[in-house]
Amino acid sequence: MVKITFYYKDGCWLCDAAQEMLNGLKEKYGIHVTRIAIDSTDELYELYRFDIPVFEFSDGSALHGHIRKKALLEKLEENEE
């Protein structure tokens, strides 16, 4: 199982693409995703507004912006429990 915190904003096409990529890998890696909308608080919006989408992993590492599948696969392997 891999736990990911996914910071996103509705209407963000990169966020939609990142979500689709996760959906395609959920079964293989047993991904558990916690979705957090950055516009739910001013603090999150200021922190992530130029970086979304953001995948934050349990080891503290993150991927953001235009996320490449190869980079995501590497992080999934590194964070598999």
Per-residue pLDDT reduced to its tens digit, 11-67: 999 999 999 999 999 988 899 999 999 999 999 999 999 999 999 999 999 999 999
| Residue 79 pLDDT > 90 | yes
Q: Where are the beta strands (DSSP E) in 1-81?
A: 2-8, 31-37, 54-57, 62-64
Taking Cα atoms as reference points, which of 3, 2, 8 lies closest to residue 52? Answer: 8
CATH class of 2-79: alpha beta
| Residue 81 pLDDT > 90 | no
| Angstrom distances, CA of residue 59 to CA of 6, 45, 76, 80 | 14, 23, 11, 10
pTM of the model: 0.92
Residue 10 pLDDT: 95
